[in-house]
Amino acid sequence: MHPSLWERCFWLLGLLLALSVESAGDVPPTQQPKCTDFQNASLLRGTSLKVQFLLFTPSNPSCGKLVEESSDIQNSGFNATLGTKLIIHGFRALGTKPSWIEKFIGALLRSADANVIAVDWVYGSTGIYFSAVENVIKLGLEISRFLSKLLVLGVSESSIHIIGVSLGAHVGGMVGHFYKGRLGWITGLDPAGPEYTRASLEERLDAGDALFVEAIHTDTDNLGIRIPVGHVDYFVNGGQDQPGCPTFIHAGYSYLICDHMRAVHLYISALENSCPLMAFPCTSYKAFLAGHCLDCFNPFLLSCPRIGMVEQGGVKIEPLPKEVRVYLQTTSRAPYCVHHSFVEFYLQEPRNKDTSIVITFLSSNVTSSVKITIPLWNLLQREPEKCDLQENGWSTNRTMTSVHTEMHNCQQWQVL
């Protein structure tokens, strides 16, 4: 009995399916790299540390590779001849991944040929702030043990750069303390203030924790520490209220966190933009605003430090005195930078009344004016403003003003 037409079609279809399955089995599927993301915790389970070390490399900047043992590190693309940068986040009240971490990692990898390792301790930083503080020493020990594995692979202590955010800055200080200050560089981004302002040097970030320690202060009147903690401490806009951040509690979460997190966004912007965030050594922010500190002087060897990579800032790492306070002003949004210039006007004749001078700065898209009033008894006056100024001419009678406005690339100025 001959098979029917339907039977023949069914048999042929089965044969084709079998051949296609067999052919597919001959070619292994494309192996996608296994990437690991940050953990998520909750208020009920945020007590244990559960630390993850996630490696990001220039060849694969968006894929975090979980590295725990030395074998993981060796097989992950880690390059022991490059510098190594560790990012340590701070307190995570809701147990979520830091919203800024991916942008930060990308900026680091684009600005420097380095290994970037993100330290995920979301579990240990979730819930109550004081519980997270209790985990700082434990986390410092875990990071120190991890670094010891890198040193075995040939990484030098001086090539390690720790970047700690808020509470993470003090974790970095703890790690540096365990290594007796031999690590290369620690950056504290608005180091946490609560529980640390009166802490001992062994408990918080300080200048003895690395060959070079810097801190960027943006919220000293609330969540950030108000005292200097490094060789160089940047007090941005005086270290307190940042332009563009809400000033009313009705703004909710943004009111609480905006100033504190500005340090992170400033650092990212400094890595991504060529516009320099330059700061000036000064005795106080008031003196800086009065125009008394616009010249750079030692210990910076006629160079003022810049936020970002120290290689770009012209700062000599050694020797540096401790706790040098530097000040700068910024705008409310990226790239945040302003340029500082010095304008002088000298009054050469006595007067019988106060003198007012209005200076207008003109650029391609912005016009800004500042009025300077010189009291009767003064022949010299300093006033703050901001601008990237190009001199175009002077009046015969002059007084002195420190100029730093939000305008960039000013084309000319004139006295009215």
8 Å CB contact between 272 and 110: yes
pLDDT confidence of residue 294: 76
8 Å CB contact between 266 and 272: no
pLDDT band at 407 (very low <50, low <70, confident <90, very high): very low
Which amino acid is it at 359?
I
| Each residue's pLDDT tens digit, 126-168 | 988 999 999 999 999 999 999 999 999 999 999 999 999 999 9
Q: How far apart are the first and last CA of the chain?
A: 112
The residues, ordered by sequence, that sit 6+ positions from 216 with a Cβ below 8 Å of its Cβ are 187, 188, 189, 190, 234, 236, 263, 266, 267, 307
- DSSP string of 273-336, one letter each residue: -SS--B-EE-S-HHHHHTTS--S--TTSTT---BSS-HHHHT---SS--S-EEEEE---SSTT-
Q: Widest CA span of the chain, in angstroms?
A: 129
pLDDT confidence of residue 186: 96
| Each residue's pLDDT tens digit, 329-356 | 999 999 998 876 666 666 667 677 887 8
User: Is the predicted pLDDT of residue 116 greater than 50, yes or no?
Assistant: yes
**Cα separation, 64 vs 247, whole angstroms:** 37
The residues, ordered by sequence, that sit 6+ positions from 221 with a Cβ below 8 Å of its Cβ are 239, 240, 241
pLDDT band at 276 (very low <50, low <70, confident <90, very high): confident
pLDDT confidence of residue 303: 66
- DSSP string of 51-114, one letter each residue: -EEEEEETTEEEEEEE--SHHHHHTTT--TTSEEEEEE----TT----TTHHHHHHHHHHHSSE
pLDDT confidence of residue 43: 67
Which of 232, 223, 199, 235 has the alpha carbon at shortest distance from 303?
232
Q: Does CATH place domain 52-328 in 3.40.50.1820?
A: yes
User: Is the predicted pLDDT of residue 395 greater than 60, yes or no?
Assistant: no
pLDDT confidence of residue 176: 97
pLDDT confidence of residue 145: 96
pLDDT confidence of residue 55: 96
Q: Per-residue pLDDT averaged across 73-102, rounded?
A: 93
Active site residue ranges: 166, 190, 260
Residue 196, both tokens: 């640390």
Domain boundaries, the chain: 52-328, 339-416
pLDDT confidence of residue 295: 72
Top-confidence residue, 100 or 16:
100
User: Is the predicted pLDDT of residue 287 greater than 50, yes or no?
Assistant: yes
What is the residue-averaged pLDDT of the chain? Answer: 78
The strand pairing partners of 372, in sequence order, are: 357
Alpha-carbon separation of residue 407 from 279, 331, 357, 410 (angstroms):
17, 9, 20, 7
Residue 289, both tokens: 């605003």
**Cα separation, 290 vs 47, whole angstroms:** 49
pLDDT confidence of residue 135: 94
pLDDT confidence of residue 185: 93
8 Å CB contact between 194 and 203: no
Which range of 66-70, 222-226, 359-363, 374-378 scores highest in mean pLDDT? It is 222-226
pLDDT confidence of residue 296: 74
User: Is the predicted pLDDT of residue 386 greater than 50, yes or no?
Assistant: no
pTM attached to this predicted model = 0.78
